[in-house]
Amino acid sequence: MRKPCSRPVKQHRTFARRLGEALLLACALPTLPALAATAAAPEAGGAPLAATSTPTQLLHLVTEEYPPYNMSGQTKEGMGEVTGISSRILQTLLAEAKLDYTVAIYPWARAIAMARSQAMTCVYSMSRTPERESLYQWVGPLVFNDWTLFARSGGSRPAQLQEAIKARIGSYRGDAIVPYLQERGYQVDVGSSDELNPRKLLAGRIDFWATGRLIGLYRLQQQGLTGIEPVLNFNRSEMYLACQKDMPEALIRQLNQGLQALDRRGVIRKIYSDFGYTP
């Protein structure tokens, strides 16, 4: 019987080895359709991205305890959240714009400093004053805020702000009311927090308390205090989302257009109503 030739066996083994390597390589590489699907797949909640797109940047929102516009709250599950009229407006706006964001509460002076110095950071609810105009990019107005003098019940009730020129007026650090009054010659007792002012007023340490009308009424109810009432609305300010100067202008324009669309559809009025107020 003829012995089998060793050479063909060697060729067969070489061919099998190379075939196996080719199959392994084919399994390791995705097909062209798979690559195309990967490039077109949207991020969670976002629009499809091109293969060369960079990930969407995260927007950071900072604010203070300033009810009923922005304040701490709880979800139905008992988890902490930031709520309030301005917060709800922004949550709706950013959801419709499909933008990811974080939100946190800080002391007001720290919050406004963060929005000046940290990229992709915005602070709310910020009064838009001449002194602040060039420091930020602006989205809004979100809400309106009536600046009001509160006084002890039965005490002085000025008919106009000028009548309180010699009075001690309480406010707090970082609030736009402070420079507004100081530049006009009023004596302002600047505290570390607005929450302290109602009790300072009752104790006679200040003659008036200057704050937003809605927040003043809210704080009195929250602290269970009586004997204090609003006596004079002396200014109306518009409050905005104030963003760090290097924020892309296209993003600021998108947010302003989205906010105007919410207003036209009656969404903002509905949010006010949900919190028991009328804009």
Taking only the tens place, the pLDDT of each residue in 8-30 is 333 444 434 443 444 333 434 34
Using the predicted structure, report yes or no on whether residue 44 has a pLDDT greater than 60: no
* pLDDT, mean over the chain: 83
Tokens of 77: 């599950």
pLDDT digits (tens, 9 = 90+) for 141-181: 999 999 999 999 999 999 999 999 999 999 999 999 999 99
Closest C-alpha to 157, from 234, 258, 88: 234
pLDDT digits (tens, 9 = 90+) for 210-269: 999 999 999 999 999 999 999 999 999 999 999 999 999 999 999 999 999 999 999 999
The residues, ordered by sequence, that sit 6+ positions from 264 with a Cβ below 8 Å of its Cβ are none
Output the pLDDT for position 279: 78
Q: Looking at per-residue confidence, does 7 or 124 come out higher?
A: 124
Q: Looking at per-residue confidence, does 33 or 111 come out higher?
A: 111
Using the predicted structure, report yes or no on whether residue 2 has a pLDDT greater than 80: no
Q: Which amino acid is at 245?
A: K
Q: State whether residue 104 is helix, strand or coil.
A: strand
In the chain the first and final C-alpha atoms are separated, in Å, by 105
Q: Which of the listed CATH numbers 3.30.540.10, 3.30.70.1230, 3.30.43.10, 3.40.190.10 matches domain 146-236? A: 3.40.190.10
> How much is the average pLDDT of 105-109?
95
> How much is the average pLDDT of 186-213?
97
Indicate the range of 67-81, 84-98, 138-152, 225-239 predicted with least confidence.
67-81
Residue intervals of the chain classified under CATH 3.40.190.10 are 59-144+238-274, 146-236
Output the pLDDT for position 79: 52
Closest C-alpha to 57, from 185, 243, 216, 181: 243
DSSP assigned state of 275? T
Rounded to whole angstroms, how far apart are CA atoms 172 and 177? 9
Indicate the range of 34-48, 106-120, 194-208, 256-270 predicted with least confidence.
34-48
Specify whether the CB–CB gap between 268 and 89 falls below 8 A: yes
Q: Looking at per-residue confidence, does 18 or 190 come out higher?
A: 190
Output the pLDDT for position 148: 98
**How would you class 19 by CB atoms within 10 Å of its CB: exposed for 0-12, middle for 13-18, buried for 19 or more?**
exposed
The residues, ordered by sequence, that sit 6+ positions from 200 with a Cβ below 8 Å of its Cβ are 170, 189, 191, 206, 209
The class of domain 59-144+238-274 in CATH terms is: alpha beta
> How much is the average pLDDT of 34-47?
32
Tokens of 203: 């104790």
Output the pLDDT for position 143: 96
Percentage of residues in the chain with pLDDT exceeding 70? 77
> Cα 54 vs. chain centroid, distance in angstroms?
23
Specify whether the CB–CB gap between 272 and 278 falls below 8 A: yes
Specify whether the CB–CB gap between 90 and 124 falls below 8 A: yes
Rounded to whole angstroms, how far apart are CA atoms 235 and 138? 21
For 101-120, give one letter per residue: b (16+ CB within 10 A) or e: eebebeebeebbebbeeeeb
Q: What's the number of CA atoms in the CB half-sphere (13 Å) around residue 187?
A: 10
Using the predicted structure, report yes or no on whether residue 97 has a pLDDT greater than 80: yes
Q: How many residues are recorded in the chain?
A: 279
Percentage of residues in the chain with pLDDT exceeding 90? 74
Output the pLDDT for position 77: 53
